[in-house]
Amino acid sequence: MAAPDPSCTPRILGIDPGTRVLGYGVVDLVVASTGAASTTGPGWQYVECGVIRADTALAMPQRIGTIAAEMLDVMDELRPTAVAIEAAFCGKNAASALKLGQIRGAMMVLAAQRELPVFEYGPTVVKRAVAGHGRATKCELQARVQMLLGLRRAPTEDAADALAIAMCHANYISFPGGQQSSGGQHSGPAGRVPA
């Protein structure tokens, strides 16, 4: 599949990875008529959000396959120009971290096959960019996403996290050298991460 047209409105697919439930959220970056992002902050337009569930009775390869097939449909239907995904973090449970790494890798492969750049942001960076501080609770993040996107009701936790990841990347696009981008790992289609 050909890469998206870079002259079109930036459409960001945010992914909150999970092997049982994966959240996704898509926002368009609203650009001023001058062609530049707003100087007062990014403008977001909500496109879609949801979750992809895998049967926990399935073996891990089948769960990853189920989630990947559904995500492929989302990418093909909504045609994002970039993918933002929650960065890997070291938790207390090594087995959980390994499983998350597997689903993250599968999502990155899908993006690479569509020639989409992939950007990674840690949870604290995402919370700071959207909620104003890095220790926001799930409920605070849901409420903030609902308010900023003008949604009638709050999205589910996983979908709200994915929308927040997409919005965090929109901040990076709007302010590439600013504080909103600190801590994020930005990798292009070849998977290179600047040092």
Please tell me which residue in 28, 120, 158, 161 is annotated as part of the active site.
158
Residue 16 annotated to the active site: yes
- Rounded to whole angstroms, the Cα distance separating 14 from 164 reads 7
Sheet holding 82-86, edge to edge: 43-53, 21-30, 11-16, 82-86, 118-121, 185-187
- Point out which residues pair with 49 in neighbouring strands: 25
Q: Which amino acid type is present at position 155?
A: P
E strand residue ranges, 69-161: 82-86, 118-121
Q: Could you tell me the two tokens for 22?
A: 């994966």
Q: Give the type of residue at 75.
A: M
The answer to whether the beta carbons of residues 154 and 40 sit under 8 Å apart is: no
86 catalytic per annotation: yes
Choice among 16, 28, 120, 161 that is catalytic = 16
Which of 48, 55, 73, 86 does the annotation list as catalytic? Answer: 86
73 is catalytic: no
Distance CA 108, CA 85 (A): 9
Calculate Rg over the CA atoms of the chain: 16
Catalytic sites, residue numbers = 16, 86, 158
